[in-house]
Amino acid sequence: MEENDTDPTEQVPCTNDSGPEDHTQDHATLNYVGIEAVLDQMRRKAMKTGFEFNIMVVGQSGLGKSTLMNTLFKSKVSRKSCTPNYEEKIQKTVHLQSVSHVIEEKGVKMKLTVIDTPGFGDQIDNDNCWEPIVKYINEQYEKFLREELSINRKRRIPDTRVHCCVYFLPPTGHCLRPIDIEFLKRLGEIVSIVPVIAKADTLTIEERQEFRKKIQHDLQANEIRVYPQREYDEDAEDRILNDKIREKIPFAVVGTDREHQVNGNKVLGRKTKWGIIEVENVAHCEFTNFRDLLIRSHLQDLKDVTHNIHYETYRVRRLNDSNVNGLGLSSLSITTGENVL
Amino acid sequence: MISRVHSNHYSCVNFFLTLSLVRTLFSIYIINNEVYKLLISFRMTSPDVVRQMQDKNARPLSLSGHVGFDSLPDQLVNKSTSQGFCFNILCIGETGIGKSTLMDTLFNTNFENFESSHFEPKVKLRAQTYDLQESNVRLKLTIVNTVGFGDQMNKQESYQHVVDYIDTQFESYLQEELKIKRSLHNYHDSRIHACLYFIAPSGHSLKSLDLVTMKKLDSKVNIIPVIAKADTISKSELHKFKIKIMSELVSNGVQIYQFPIDDETVSKINTAMNGHLPFAVVGSTEEVKIGNKMVKARQYPWGVVQVENENHCDFVKLREMLICVNMEDLREQTHTRHYELYRRCKLEEMGFKDTDAESKPVSLQQTYEAKRQEFLGELQKREEEMRQMFVQRVKEKEMELKEAERELQAKFEQLKRLHHDETSKLDEKRRMLEDEINTFNKKKAATELLQAQAFNTNANIKKDKDRKNSGFM
């Protein structure tokens, strides 16, 4: 095996009459092969097929989940805004509803699905309120697995797996409650969780810091793994980047879809009698960090972690379960009857 | 004082009222705007909104600000760049037709391929993997060359090795995919993404070996035919040759790889290139000075054939199509079309189906389990049979042995009797002999006695005679 380091900055004029516009300057190099054009091809293909992203919001009612989703994606993506006759009712059981939208920005199409969990943590007896959620997540994995295992598969398997779960913590200022710990513990194993402190404008900056420290301590004490998980850092660079993010988890966010005038600019904010809380101001709340993490830098990573790690774990578990009866899909030589499993 | 406070309060309230009025008006304006947008999107999408909601269909939505997911393609590209790309090319062609040279020229490296002899007994495939890097893109390139293709006297089995090799790569990918603990994203994909078929520049038509091989491979791999050593054909002959080749391929139903024309950005160039197939290429790693720069070329006494000159040969077109424009599409076609076909055939061959006899969907595992039970059942039956047979054999053997034992016993008895007879006979004989000896002894004794007597009598007579004689005197 050998390496060839070609330097495309060598500009040598060359007599080449034909060739597409965007490649003429590349053809000027003598040792040009063209391997890096594969990046463009990939980009083109990605833009044509579009992206899919499924995000789940979990939290008690009244914590501002729908508003935060609307703020995050700058349009009415939540269930509340979609159903014409929406009434705020406390559901008797937790059941999940998902709404899908296709949003486009600068040529990039994304099919966004927001899965809402009304009724979570709202009852008097909240035992096992995470079960419908766990069941839903596993159902999506199961659907994907079944499609992947079928003989005639589709070209692109529709991806309904939950890529990210945003968990809303009420701004009590104390520490994690039992329901939080139970939920985070169970779901941290099967999906990437990003915890946020909701309605953070009720806490001052110092209170937020305290609260965050306590939460981080609780998370560590209960061995809860939230995104970005330490074990999946690929190299030192990743680790440094993710460590910075991990220091800030959970993000203290404020959501709104109203705009106000501040210093002549229109900003998203909440207007109160004592001032305007600017959502996109880093000094006021950490919404920008949260949005950047989720969308601008780690969206692909979230999808990859879901596909490569969580889905694979589910698949191993599922195939091993059926292995209890002595089933394993690894030996395909069953027809010849040679290898007895 | 109270009244002043009151008036102040009143003015404050007035102020706040106007402010809130402005705010409400403003928000109403915004809400109206949103509602308007919503209505438009409703109108544009479908008349029945409720049904759409129930269908959970995605409705298009417009954003009121910059969200930031337009960086998604960049994120994807960055991730892929850090992982690196993988590309596998298979070169099929006769020995000495210029496969290795073309690969060297294409990728600007010396791949260190040694020449192979013409006396290979069978067609072999030799695969070599290289790590190339250009700016920040890492490519793991595998080049598979056929060794000894077309050299044998009997070429009937030539294509079989190639087909087997391709199938083996698909098989190993399938195995990896069906494993329980798998690591697909780390897996070194060895499936062949592109197959360059080198056609000898005879100028007439395709050889039958070419047709047969391409026909067998067209459903397994993306075939790109190239005319090798194109500097031996003149332009007019080349044109006729190309037309002849394409018509032969079409009339024989060989499906070569067509460059994709569904994407607007590349459809124009791809359609143009589709018309230039098969590419007439010249490969060279030597450099010749033309004007004031060095170009890759072949120097003849009558001129210089420049590899990268479009008037001289189609090398640039090939490089463009194979690497710059369609590498990703080649990989995708291999994965979604050829590999899926292989997978489907393989699994159906093993008896897995998506739906069973009542056309109810059946999962892979159910079929697998059913098959396994069947297999186990059969195994058990065979085991039983074997056991029965074993028991039977043992019985038979036992009887045989008993029989033998009895025979032996009988023989022993007989021998014993014989021995007894013999012994008694011998005894008899001995007795007789002893009797005879006794008789003889007796006789002997008697004779001796008689002799002794006779002697005594003689002596007496002599004595008497002597006495008589002496008496006389």
Domain ranges (residues) in chain B: 75-354, 363-429
A141-200 pLDDT, tens digit per residue, is 988 888 888 878 878 888 889 999 999 988 888 888 888 888 888 888 889 998 888 888
Length of chain A in residues, anyone?
A: 341
Query: What is the edge-to-edge ordering of all strands in the sheet holding B293-300?
Result: B287-290, B293-300, B303-306
| Partners of residue B85 in chain A, C-beta under 8 Å | 35, 38
| Partners of residue B108 in chain A, C-beta under 8 Å | 4, 6, 31-33
Mutate to test the interface with B, among A3, A4, A7 (most CBs of B within 10 A): A4
Domain ranges of chain A: 47-79+91-320
pLDDT along chain B (473 residues), means of 10: 48 52 50 45 36 48 75 83 86 88 84 73 83 82 86 81 90 86 81 90 85 89 90 87 90 87 80 85 84 84 86 86 85 89 85 57 65 87 94 95 95 95 94 92 88 83 79 64
Residue B423 tokens read as 């012994």
Q: How far is the CA of B376 from the CAs of A54, B309, B341, B371, B381, in angstroms?
A: 44, 66, 30, 8, 9
* Contact assessment for residue A121 and residue A112, using Cβ atoms and an 8 Å cutoff: no
| Partners of residue A19 in chain B, C-beta under 8 Å | 316, 320
CA-CA distance, B345 to B325, in Å (whole number)? Answer: 31
Is the pLDDT higher at A316 or at A264? A316
For the residues of B96-111, what is the DSSP string, one character each?
TSSHHHHHHHHHTS--
CA-CA distance, A134 to A117, in Å (whole number)? Answer: 12
Q: What is the pLDDT of residue A48?
A: 82
What pTM does this model have? Answer: 0.69
CA-CA distance, A60 to A179, in Å (whole number)? Answer: 11
Q: What is the pLDDT of residue A11?
A: 30
Task: Say whether pLDDT at A213 is over 50.
Answer: yes
Contacts of B29 (CB under 8 A, 6+ apart): none
Mutate to test the interface with A, among B31, B49, B313, B324 (most CBs of A within 10 A): B324
The stretch A305-323 carries a mean pLDDT of 83
| Partners of residue A258 in chain B, C-beta under 8 Å | 27, 30
Q: What is the pLDDT of residue B410?
A: 94
How far apart, in Å, do the first and last CA atoms of chain A sit?
38
Among B75, B107, B353, beta carbon nearest to A300: B75
| Strand B124-134 versus strand A164-169 pairing type | unpaired
Closest B-chain CA to A337:
B375
CA angle A191, A195, A199 (to 5 degrees): 145
| Partners of residue B139 in chain A, C-beta under 8 Å | 35, 38
Q: How confident is the model at residue A288 (pLDDT cuts 50, 70, 90)?
A: confident
Q: Where are the alpha helices (DSSP H) in chain A?
A: 37-49, 65-73, 79-82, 131-149, 178-187, 205-221, 236-248, 287-291, 299-305, 311-321
Residue B467 tokens read as 């006495």
Residue whose tokens read 């099919």: A111
Query: pLDDT exceeding 70 applies to what percent of chain A?
Result: 80
Among A99, A107, A327, beta carbon nearest to B365: A327
Q: What is the pLDDT of residue A229?
A: 77
Which class would CATH give B75-354? Answer: alpha beta
Residue A185 tokens read as 């513990």
| Partners of residue A2 in chain B, C-beta under 8 Å | 109, 112, 130-131
Interface contact flag, A153 B340, Cβ < 8 Å: yes
Q: What is the pLDDT of residue B57?
A: 57
Smallest Cα–Cα separation from B336: which of B180, B129, B178, B191?
A: B191
Q: What is the pLDDT of residue A292?
A: 86
The stretch A227-240 carries a mean pLDDT of 76
Smallest Cα–Cα separation from B240: which of B280, B270, B269, B208?
A: B280
The ipTM assigned to this model is 0.74
Task: Say whether pLDDT at A91 is over 60.
Answer: yes
| Partners of residue A320 in chain B, C-beta under 8 Å | 180
Q: How confident is the model at residue A340 (pLDDT cuts 50, 70, 90)?
A: very low
| Partners of residue A111 in chain B, C-beta under 8 Å | 58
Q: What is the pLDDT of residue A285?
A: 83
Interface contact flag, A34 B324, Cβ < 8 Å: yes
* Contact assessment for residue B30 and residue B38, using Cβ atoms and an 8 Å cutoff: no
Closest A-chain CA to B30:
A258
CA distance B169 to chain A (A): 15
* Contact assessment for residue A91 and residue A123, using Cβ atoms and an 8 Å cutoff: no
Residue whose tokens read 């006789």: B443
Is the pLDDT higher at A274 or at A82? A274
Q: Count CB pairs under 8 A between chains A and B.
A: 260
Interface contact flag, B53 A292, Cβ < 8 Å: no
CA distance B354 to chain A (A): 6
How far apart, in Å, do the first and last CA atoms of chain B sit?
231
Among B59, B265, B353, beta carbon nearest to A151: B353
Helix (H, G, I), strand (E, B) or coil at A213: helix
Q: What is the pLDDT of residue A322?
A: 65
Task: Say whether pLDDT at A27 is over 50.
Answer: no
CATH, range A47-79+91-320: 3.40.50.300
